[in-house]
């Protein structure tokens, strides 16, 4: 496993892979790796000849009042965690290697970025799309592996790949959880011990709402969506969360469910004090 920091070293490596007709699987991350990230790396191992993991805390996807400065940067520990996996390259550039001072071009999502997290994190998904497209252009992956924990991000990337005819196969990996159900996230370490004890209630609330929905046919789901969203929101408030949204949508389109929907998703974003947590659960209707 080599750690590369410059575009020219990365390009040189990718050029060699292409000459040797090796397939490439790519796992973009912001580092501070945990078992959720490693499950993506495992999938990458199974998928292609060569595995590239990027570690880059992308300034473009953080708002002015968000945790960019505070975001944990743990490159040495990340490299140690990747060592047991068959990773060929860890690409860990500095921001000035990636972004020229007078750059003029960025990617804008004009659809899904207006809902859910996009309503609260202005510019976030454009920042994500811009870095992901740049990394795709640098790594030229055959496969890109993303987590379904960030479901809206996954759908935004899927839309970008389709809209811009990007030649990459996208794979989504289920959310990896702690034993008590909390979705793993680099931000969980911001939680105080008391908030950490409370945090699994987020997924428990999702599961309770999912259980109710899965007993319904689609017509009943559509009728009761608003009530169920409101109840879940209130439950979270009573338990000490400050929820931004609880939304039940069609899992394929992220639009309100219709009579032809066969998979629904409940998505939530909620704060425990200053820590913002997101999670989701998919319900396949029978
Ligand atoms: P991040 O470093 O938070 O930008 O995440 C990098 C990738 O790991 C993204 O595709 C995330 O969706 C994915 N990821 C983060 N947490 C988890 C998790 N608990 N389970 C599965 N994938 C995850």
Q: Give the mean model confidence (pLDDT) for residues 111-131.
A: 98
Q: Residue 90: which pLDDT band, with cuts at 50, 70 and 90?
A: very high
Q: What is residue 82's DSSP assignment?
A: H
Which one, of 117, 29, 45, 123, lies nearest residue 78 by Cα? 29
37 is annotated as an active-site residue:
yes
Per-residue pLDDT tens over the stretch 131-162: 999 999 999 999 999 999 999 999 999 999 99
Catalytic option among 5, 37, 102, 226: 37
Q: Residue 286: which pLDDT band, with cuts at 50, 70 and 90?
A: confident
Please tell me the predicted confidence (pLDDT) of residue 249.
Answer: 98
Per-residue pLDDT tens over the stretch 10-59: 999 999 999 999 999 999 999 999 999 999 999 999 999 999 999 999 99
CA 151 to each of CA 61, 87, 236, 270: distance values in angstroms, whole numbers, following the listed order: 16, 25, 20, 15
213 pLDDT higher than 90: yes
Q: State in Å: Cα 36 to ligand 1 middle.
A: 6
What is the overall mean pLDDT for the chain? 98
Per-residue pLDDT tens over the stretch 156-198: 999 999 999 999 999 999 999 999 999 999 999 999 999 999 9
Q: Give the mean model confidence (pLDDT) for residues 56-70.
A: 97
Q: Give the mean model confidence (pLDDT) for residues 70-92.
A: 98
Pocket of ligand 1 (CB under 6 A): 29-30, 36-37, 39-40, 146-147, 149-150, 173, 175-176, 183-186
Per-residue pLDDT tens over the stretch 265-284: 999 999 999 999 999 999 99
Please tell me the predicted confidence (pLDDT) of residue 103.
Answer: 97
Residue of the CA atom closest to atom 18 of ligand 1: 36
Please tell me the predicted confidence (pLDDT) of residue 184.
Answer: 98
Strands 89-91 and 50-55: parallel
Contacts of 174 (CB under 8 A, 6+ apart): 39, 148
Nearest atom in ligand 1 to 37's CA: 8
Pocket test for ligand 1, best of 25, 35, 36 (most atoms within 8 A of CB): 36
Which phi and psi (to 5°) does residue 245 adopt? -155, 150
Predicted structure pTM score: 0.98
């Amino acid at each position: 496993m080599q750690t590369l920091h410059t575009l020219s070293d990365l390009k040189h490596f990718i050029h060699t892979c292409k000459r040797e007709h090796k397939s490439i699987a790519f796992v973009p991350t912001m580092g501070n790796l945990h078992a959720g990230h490693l499950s993506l790396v495992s999938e990458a191992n199974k998928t292609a000849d060569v595995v590239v993991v990027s570690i880059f805390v992308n300034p473009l996807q953080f708002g002015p009042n968000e945790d960019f400065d505070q975001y944990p940067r743990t490159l040495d520990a990340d490299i140690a965690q990747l060592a047991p996996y068959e990773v060929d390259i860890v690409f860990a550039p500095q921001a000035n290697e990636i972004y020229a001072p007078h750059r003029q071009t960025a990617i804008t999502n004009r659809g899904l970025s207006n809902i859910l997290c996009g309503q609260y994190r202005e510019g976030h998904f454009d920042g994500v799309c811009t870095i992901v497209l740049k990394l795709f252009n640098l790594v030229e992956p055959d496969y890109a592996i993303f987590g379904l924990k960030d479901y809206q991000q996954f759908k935004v990337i899927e839309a970008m790949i389709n809209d811009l005819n990007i030649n990459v196969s996208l794979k989504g990996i289920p959310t990896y959880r702690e034993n008590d159900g909390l979705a793993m996230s680099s931000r969980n370490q911001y939680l105080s011990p008391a908030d950490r004890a409370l945090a699994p209630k987020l997924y428990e609330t999702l599961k309770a709402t999912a259980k109710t929905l899965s007993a319904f046919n689609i017509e009943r789901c559509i009728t009761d969506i608003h009530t169920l969203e409101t109840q879940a929101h209130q439950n979270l408030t009573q338990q000490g969360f400050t929820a931004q949204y609880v939304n039940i949508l069609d899992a394929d389109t992220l639009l309100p469910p219709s009579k032809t929907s066969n998979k629904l998703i409940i998505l939530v974003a909620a704060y425990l004090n200053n820590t913002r947590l997101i999670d989701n659960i998919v319900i396949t209707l029978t």
